[in-house]
């Protein structure tokens, strides 16, 4: 029987975090590194990925790899996966964090901007799940965590980003479907769904829209998420501690969805 420390230990595991060079993605990458995982960060800006991986490597002593990758490109995702296999020999964890948002009302947003967000936030996640998932299925083990949002679970009156909300809702259904299909083949698929956290993106939203007070009023805990409050949930879903959990949506929202 494993003890609690062993259940949460990720030593030697290889974890991909898409869009992991900043914001919540970096918080998650840092949490996985603290638990011992070797970290691969991929995004469209290689320089930012390199800065993040160098910091993680020097701070936590884990092996790292930075890769330039557009998650909507099958060819680039395949190239990313092969580069990881060439360096590490296996892929154990995929955290699909990369995403974009477009702030505009339901009444005025163009179909072009709607499709732009869905291409990254939904199609891009599926591409990564499919291509990396094939490798995990062949190995007979893997943990896939998709970054959801409280806005994919409940309506949020003050959030004007229709395609972002739609993508996160669809992502939850996709997560559950893949979890059911791949469970007997050793691949776990779960969704981590944060509420509002204090990040560069959210602070920009607050400044532009003046909605900080409205957001906080919707949170029973009366505050935003902090700089280390996704680490524990992320490590849980990535580690053996969650080996009887799949198809789950883990909300980390200060109680927002409980109203």
- pLDDT, position 199: 81
Q: Give the distance, in angstroms, between the CA of residue 206 and the centroid of all CA atoms in the same chain.
A: 22
- List the domain boundaries for the chain: 4-253
Selecting among 26, 158, 164, 188, the annotated active-site residue is 164
C-alpha span between 63 and 163 (Å, rounded) = 36
Phi, psi of 238 (to 5 degrees): -90, -10
- pLDDT, position 209: 61
C-alpha span between 195 and 193 (Å, rounded) = 7
- pLDDT, position 207: 59
- pLDDT, position 206: 52
Question: Superfamily assignment of 4-253 in CATH?
Answer: NAD(P)-binding Rossmann-like Domain (3.40.50.720)
Instruction: Examine the residue annotation and report whether 164 is marked as an active-site residue of this protein.
Output: yes
Q: Which residues of the chain have pLDDT under 70?
A: 203-209
Phi, psi of 130 (to 5 degrees): -65, -50
Q: Are 68 and 47 in contact (CB under 8 A)?
A: no
- pLDDT, position 89: 98
């Amino acid at each position: 029987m494993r003890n609690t420390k062993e259940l949460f230990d990720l030593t030697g595991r290889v974890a991909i975090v898409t869009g992991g060079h900043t914001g919540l993605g970096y918080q998650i990458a840092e949490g996985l590194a603290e638990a011992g995982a070797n970290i691969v960060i991929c995004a469209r800006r290689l320089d930012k990925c390199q800065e993040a991986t160098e910091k993680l490597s020097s701070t936590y002593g884990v092996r790292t790899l930075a890769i330039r990758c557009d998650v909507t490109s099958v060819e680039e995702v395949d190239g990313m996966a092969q580069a990881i296999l060439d360096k590490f020999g296996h892929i154990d964890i995929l955290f699909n964090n990369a995403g974009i948002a477009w702030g505009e009302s339901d009444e005025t947003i163009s179909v072009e901007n709607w499709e732009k967000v869905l291409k990254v936030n939904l199609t891009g996640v599926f591409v990564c799940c499919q291509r990396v998932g094939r490798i995990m299925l062949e190995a007979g083990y893997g943990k896939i965590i998709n970054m959801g949002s409280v806005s994919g679970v409940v309506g949020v009156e003050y959030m004007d980003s229709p395609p972002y909300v739609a993508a996160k809702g669809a992502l939850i259904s996709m997560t559950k479907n893949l979890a059911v299909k791949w469970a007997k083949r050793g691949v776990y698929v779960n969704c981590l769904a944060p509420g509002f956290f204090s990040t560069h993106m959210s602070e920009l939203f607050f400044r532009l829209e003046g909605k900080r007070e409205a957001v906080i009023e919707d949170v029973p805990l009366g505050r935003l998420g902090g700089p280390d409050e996704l680490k524990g949930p992320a490590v849980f879903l990535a580690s053996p501690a969650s080996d009887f959990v799949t198809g789950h949506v883990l909300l980390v929202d200060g109680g927002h969805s409980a109203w």
